[in-house]
């Protein structure tokens, strides 16, 4: 009898649990609207991808991406976090675009959206006349083209490659007079990007390093070289955001304390400069003390070396100065390796020498006249 009562009790409890579960299910409401219907920033509507729940907004070039207040439309019974008109940074202080997560809730449902906001970016990626490629300096939006002496520059047809979706003016295939610099514009997503194109006759100035568009890695020679170092003085003649830096130590050591301590372009970053064509090297330098700067030039295997020196003037300490290094007129061996040293006098021979930072940038080879 007792066992029978226990079985009845188990059945009754099971029925009660089932009934409570059904009641719980019936109390949930999955009919809420958790869609973002529109997402607008500064009057620009975002593109909403419902399949992967992402939203992207492209603002006009030059727009700030910090402190933006998106206007968000959602269902009447829904909430969104962050809220509509809440100030959000979509880029950090290092210039990295940030992904922002928005969550929409309605009744017993919720949906996550990943939102990115960026500015319109369009580039000319290639500019050719015939088989000759122009040098694109993206930081200043300039393109320089060198053609052989005697070329008629009044009726040239360039071939231009640029960002998909942009509109180019003058249009592809147009015959152009390049007697004077010509502006080429890209219209893209409501923004205009203008490149100034200059055609010159003769040999080109060869940019070897500028820290931005042309950025080979400098190797450390008895020193510690900092590549892509923040430019300590951008308000002078060198406004580039980055440069190369070295600490020249007073104490003789293999880390910045030797007469040859410096940085080198060689091995995987070697150069190819014909000294019968190029007669000078120009280099931007910023130092904390006056003194010589040395550029050593080598052919492969170090079979042909040369030591070039220029004076960093004490009249403009702490300022960028453009130094000129003359390649010997009688040199014929190709220059494959370039070494830059901030001070050529051994510290033991110079009692006034002190440890200091040196920075360099914008290394160029200048054609002979």
pTM attached to this predicted model: 0.53
CATH number for the domain that contains residue 185: 2.60.40.2340
- Residues 215 and 363 grouped into a single domain: yes
* Residue numbers of the domain that contains 102: 36-119
pLDDT value at 82 more than 80: yes
In a domain, residue 300? The reply is yes
User: Model confidence over 255-294: pLDDT tens digits?
Assistant: 998 888 999 999 999 999 999 989 999 999 999 888 889 9
Residue with tokens 């002190």: 354
Which residues are 193's β-sheet partners? 186
Q: In Å, how far from its chain's centre is CA 202?
A: 31
Per-residue pLDDT tens over the stretch 111-146: 999 999 999 999 999 999 998 888 888 878 999 888
Number of domains making up the chain: 3
Rg of the Cα atoms in the chain: 32
Note whether residue 145 is domain-resident.
yes
At 192-236, the pLDDT tens digits run 999 999 998 888 889 999 998 899 999 999 999 999 999 999 999
43 and 79 co-located in one domain: yes
Q: Which region holds residue 366: left if phi is over 0, alpha if psi is between -120 and 50, else beta?
A: beta
Pairing mode, strands 262-265 and 337-341: antiparallel
Task: Find the mean pLDDT for residues 81-108.
Answer: 94
Contact yes or no for 336/275 (Cβ under 8 A):
no
Please check whether residue 46 is in contact with residue 115, taking contact to mean a CB–CB distance below 8 angstroms. Answer: yes
Residues 222 and 342 in one domain: yes
Does residue 264 sit in the same domain as residue 335?
Answer: yes
Listed residues 61, 93, 119: the one ending a domain? 119
Is 218 part of any domain?
yes
- The Cα–Cα gap between 217 and 148 comes to 32
Q: Residue 23 domain-assigned?
A: no
Interatomic CA distance for residues 250 and 236, integer angstroms: 28
CATH number of the domain that residue 229 is part of: 2.60.120.260
- Residue 210 and residue 281 in one domain: yes
Residues 277 and 360 in one domain: yes
Q: How confident is the model at residue 347 (pLDDT cuts 50, 70, 90)?
A: low
HSE, side-chain direction, 13 A CA sphere, residue 2:
0
- Looking at 119, 143, 160, the residue that finishes a domain is 119
Q: Is residue 208 a contact partner of residue 338, using CB atoms and an 8 Å limit?
A: yes
In a domain, 243, yes or no: yes
Which tens digits make up the pLDDT trace of 144-188?
A: 888 988 999 999 999 999 999 999 999 999 999 999 999 999 999
Task: Specify whether 100 is located in the same domain as 156.
Answer: no
pLDDT > 90 fraction of the chain, expressed in percent and rounded: 70
User: Which residue, of 64, 93, 119, is where some domain finishes?
Assistant: 119
Residue 320 maps to a domain: yes
Q: Which residue has the tokens 């010997």?
A: 328
Q: Per-residue DSSP letters for 219-252?
A: EEESS-EEEEEEPS--SSS---SEEEEEEE-SS-
Q: Tell me: do 246 and 327 sit in the same domain.
A: yes
């Amino acid at each position: 009898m007792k066992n029978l009562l226990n079985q009845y009790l188990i059945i009754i409890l099971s029925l009660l649990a089932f009934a409570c579960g059904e009641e719980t299910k019936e109390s949930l409401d999955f009919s809420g609207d958790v869609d973002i219907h529109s997402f607008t920033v500064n009057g620009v509507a975002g593109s909403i991808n419902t399949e992967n729940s992402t939203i992207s907004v492209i603002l006009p070039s030059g727009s700030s991406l910090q402190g933006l207040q998106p206007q968000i439309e959602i269902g009447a019974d829904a909430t969104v976090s962050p809220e509509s008109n809440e100030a959000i940074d979509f880029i950090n202080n290092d210039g990295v675009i940030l992904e922002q997560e928005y969550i929409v809730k309605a009744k017993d449902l919720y949906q996550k959206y990943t939102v990115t906001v960026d500015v319109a970016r369009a580039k000319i990626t290639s500019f050719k006349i015939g088989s000759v490629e122009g040098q694109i300096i993206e930081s200043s939006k300039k393109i320089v083209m060198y053609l052989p002496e005697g070329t008629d520059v009044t009726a040239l047809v360039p071939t231009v490659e640029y960002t998909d979706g942009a509109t180019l003016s003058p249009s592809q295939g147009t015959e152009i007079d390049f007697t004077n610099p010509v502006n080429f514009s890209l219209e893209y997503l409501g923004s205009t990007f203008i490149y100034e194109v200059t055609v010159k006759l003769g040999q080109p100035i060869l940019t070897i390093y500028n820290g931005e568009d042309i950025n080979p890695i400098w190797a450390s020679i008895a020193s510690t070289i900092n590549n892509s170092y923040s430019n300590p003085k951008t308000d002078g003649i060198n406004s580039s955001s980055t440069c190369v830096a070295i600490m020249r130590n007073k104490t003789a050591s293999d880390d910045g304390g030797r007469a040859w301590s410096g940085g080198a372009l060689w091995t995987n970053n070697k150069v190819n400069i014909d000294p019968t064509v190029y007669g000078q090297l120009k280099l931007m330098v910023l130092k904390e003390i006056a003194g010589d700067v040395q550029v050593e030039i080598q052919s492969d295997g170090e079979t042909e070396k040369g030591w070039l020196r220029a004076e960093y003037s004490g009249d403009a300490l702490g300022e960028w100065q453009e130094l000129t290094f003359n390649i010997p007129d009688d040199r014929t061996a190709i220059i494959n390796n370039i070494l830059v040293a901030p001070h050529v006098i051994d510290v033991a021979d110079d009692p006034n020498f002190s440890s200091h930072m040196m920075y360099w940038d914008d290394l160029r080879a200048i054609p002979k006249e």
